[in-house]
Amino acid sequence: MKKIKKYIVATILSSIFTQQIFSQKVVLINGAGATFPYPLYSKWFYEYAKIDKTVNFNYQSIGSGGGIRQIIAKTVDFGATDGIMTQEQEKLAGEEILHIPMTAGAVVLAYNIPNFNQQLNLTAEIISGIYLGKITKWNDVKIKKENPDIDLPDKKIVVARRSDGSGTTYIFTDYLCEISKEWKTKVGKGTSVNWPVGLGGKGNEGVAGIIKNTPYSIGYVEISYAIQNKLFYAKVKNKSGKYINPSVESITAAIESKAKNMPKDFKVSLVDPEGENAYPISGFTWILVYKKQKDKVVAEKLIQFLKWAVTDGQKYCADLIYAPLSENLRKMVLDAINQIEY
């Protein structure tokens, strides 16, 4: 009996330490960052694991701030962000980091008003007013003016926002800076800002969780989080004065309007576009990779995956309401991926 016990213990220990417990020769590539594209990325990684069985992508959605921080600290193989790295951050990294755009998505204003199932119309003024703490009730005259046919409750608005460093926040505050002078001077834009109001949730998951669990709340989340959780979200008035429903088409319209002449480094903002049918709060999401890779195997697998993601992988975008990259853009991105050295 004792012998058997010893044998079992020995096998377990040796299997743990020989590092090959469950299968052989599978490369694990670790990434971290944005929660914004997490539904799409995890779909990709899940599907890609079926195509190439020798590689697993472990992606932790800790927020864009985290993606940037961990790629600077070199603790991950790739990062992901929806806010571009600042020059200061690139300097901290000490080596060249490529921004590879993977897809574009929309930040929506999702809300939870009990027994209410209509789509609200919001304007830049209302959104900035709510997040500056100036509009505090659902039946505020400003909201009423844009939604004359809707009966809004006399309840306080529970504002939800991110507690962590976030690219969704970057896109959202980028938008608020664009449309509100007061926001620009008082708060500014970034992956994390000093919020005037609001309940903080960790990740898009956290904010969606707060909205779902808290009556009379509103918050900004990436659209697929709103859809997967059956949250209602608002139409937003764009620059040309039209109320736009966030959708693959209206995000694509924003790309066409703002990224017509895509710069070589892909660092372009999509907020507050001119296009008539463009949704005003959308943005690209990028994967961050070191230009000079250290590990040959990891580099090869990573490049293969990135190429797959911006070509075949794009077919998964629309289902999750991310805008696929245009043909033109795909070519540019593939060129950029080919620049990765190892």
Q: Which of 43, 46, 39, 84 is nearest to 223 (CA)?
A: 39
Candidate segments 16-24, 233-241, 281-289, 334-342, binder of another protein by CB under 8 A:
16-24
Task: Out of 188, 265, 291, 311, name the contact with another protein by CB under 8 A.
Answer: 188
186 binds another protein (CB under 8 A): no
Task: Out of 8, 10, 28, 51, name the contact with another protein by CB under 8 A.
Answer: 28
194 binds another protein (CB under 8 A): yes
Task: Out of 11, 14, 118, 213, name the contact with another protein by CB under 8 A.
Answer: 213
Least Cβ distance, residue 31 to another protein (angstroms): 10
209 binds another protein (CB under 8 A): yes
Least Cβ distance, residue 225 to another protein (angstroms): 7
CA angle, residues 238, 241, 245, in degrees to nearest 5: 50
Q: Which is nearer to another protein, 206 or 275 (CB)?
A: 206
Helix (H/G/I), strand (E/B), else coil: 309: helix
Going across the sheet that includes 235-237, the strands are 121-122, 235-237, 243-244
Q: Could you give the string, one character per residue 87-106, with x where binding to another protein holds by CB under 8 A and - elsewhere?
A: -xx--x--------------
Secondary structure (H, E, C), 141-165: HHHHHHCCCCCCCCCECEEEEECCC
Task: Out of 20, 311, 328, 339, name the contact with another protein by CB under 8 A.
Answer: 20
Which residues inside 282-311 make contact with another protein, applying CB under 8 A?
Answer: none
CA angle, residues 287, 333, 178, in degrees to nearest 5: 65
Least Cβ distance, residue 219 to another protein (angstroms): 11
Q: Which residue has the tokens 């289902």?
A: 319
Least Cβ distance, residue 326 to another protein (angstroms): 25
Both structure tokens of 129: 């007013």
Q: Which is nearer to another protein, 3 or 230 (CB)?
A: 230
E strands of 113-249, at which residues?
Answer: 121-122, 158-162, 199-201, 217-222, 232-233, 235-237, 243-244
Helix (H/G/I), strand (E/B), else coil: 29: strand
Task: Out of 119, 139, 229, 247, name the contact with another protein by CB under 8 A.
Answer: 229
Q: For residue 210, is it left (φ>0), alpha (ψ between -120 and 50) or beta?
A: alpha
Candidate segments 19-27, 122-130, 142-150, 327-335, binder of another protein by CB under 8 A:
19-27
Both structure tokens of 131: 């997040």
165 binds another protein (CB under 8 A): yes
Q: Which of 318, 311, 291 is nearest to 39 (CA)?
A: 318
Helix (H/G/I), strand (E/B), else coil: 168: helix
Q: Which is nearer to another protein, 19 or 261 (CB)?
A: 19
171 binds another protein (CB under 8 A): no
Size of the site for another protein (CB under 8 A): 75
Task: Out of 103, 163, 277, 282, name the contact with another protein by CB under 8 A.
Answer: 163
Q: Which of 314, 322, 289 is nearest to 303 (CA)?
A: 289
Candidate segments 117-125, 195-203, 241-249, 262-270, binder of another protein by CB under 8 A:
195-203
Which residues inside 56-75 make contact with another protein, applying CB under 8 A?
Answer: 56, 58-70, 72-75
